[in-house]
Amino acid sequence: MMFLWRKQAQDHPVDDDARQKDVKVKELRDELGPLSGRSLQYCSDSCLQRYLVARNWKVEKAKKMLQDTLEWRSTFKPEEIRWHEVAHEGETGKVSRADFFDRQGRTVLIMRPGKQNTTSAEGNIRHLVYLIENGILNLHEGQEQMSWLIDFTGWTLSTHIPVRTARDIIYILQNHYPERLAVAFLYNPPRFFEAFWKAIKYFLDPKTFEKVKFVYPKNKESVELMSTFFDIDNLPSEFGGKATLQYDHQEFSKMMVEDDVKTAKFWAVDEKTPTAIVPRKEISGTPPQPVPVESPAS
C-alpha cells in the first residue's frame, strides 16, 4: 500500500506544483484587495504569476512589486501611448518589431543602437515602452515572453544613449515587465562597447544578466546558440541569417496605427468612464540610482 501511495505521488508532481502555484496566485490576489478598471484587467492570473516568479514566489514581495507597477502604469499610462506620439523616434528603425517570430513563437524586437536619432531620454523610453506593449499585444497564444536582437552595426560612442537612460530602461523592464524577456542577443558589439557594458551591467539583476547573450560571427559556439533560438532562413543577415532586413518607416507606421486600434479596444481607452470589469484572457499573454535587487525580476 505504501509503495502504491508513493507511486501515485510520483505520478502527479506536475499537478501538485500547478496547484501550489494556483494557491499562491489566489493568495496574492486576496492580498491586493479589490481592483477595478485597467488595474483589474492588467492583473490576470498569468500576470500575477509572473510577479510571483520574479520574487521567488514570495507573496509580500510580489505584492509590493505589483503595486509599484500599478502606480507606475497609472501615471505613465503605457497603454495610452499612440504611434503618432513616438513615430519620430522610430524614423531610422532603431527599435522595431520583427515580421518573424523565434522558434518558440515569441515576438522579436530588433534594436539597432547605431541608428540612434534623438537625444531625448523621455522620448527614447516612451518609444521603447510603446514597442514592448506592442510586442506583448502580438504574442502568440499561450506565449508570454519576447526575444531581443541587438545589432551594433554603426554603433559608436557618439551615438549611444546615456548610461542614465539605459539604467532607467533597465529599471522599467525589470520592475514593470517581469518575466517578459526570454533572451537578449547582443550581436557583434565593437570592442569599445566593453566600457559601456561595464557601466550598465551592474543595474541588471542576476536572472536578467543570464538572459543577455553576446554573439560573435567568428565564434562557433555563440552562432550555434543563436540558431537554437532562430530559424536561419528567417533571421536577417545582420544577425548571421539568410533574410534581408529593410526597415520601411511608412509601412511599419501603418502596421502600428492598425495595432493602436486593437490596443484601444482591448484597454477600453476610448470609454469615458472606466468601470470595474471581470478579468479576461490576455491578448496572447497580456498585457534613479541603482535600486538594490532582492530577487530576479525579469
If you average pLDDT over residues 172-179, what whole number do you get? Answer: 97
Q: What is the CA radius of gyration of the chain?
A: 20
13-38: b (≥16 Cβ within 10 Å) or e: eeeeeeeebeebbebbbeebeebebb
Burial class (CB in 10 A: 0-12, 13-18, 19+), 291: middle
Tell me, what amino acid is at 281?
Answer: K
Give the confidence band of 88 by pLDDT, cuts at 50, 70, 90: very high
CA 74, chain centre distance (Å):
19
The phi, psi pair for 213, rounded to 5°, reads -120, 130
At 228 the three-state DSSP class reads helix
If you average pLDDT over residues 100-112, what whole number do you get? Answer: 95
Give the confidence band of 157 by pLDDT, cuts at 50, 70, 90: confident
Using an 8 Å Cβ cutoff, are 230 and 196 in contact? no
Give the confidence band of 6 by pLDDT, cuts at 50, 70, 90: low
pTM: 0.85
Query: Where do we find the cell 472606466?
Result: 274
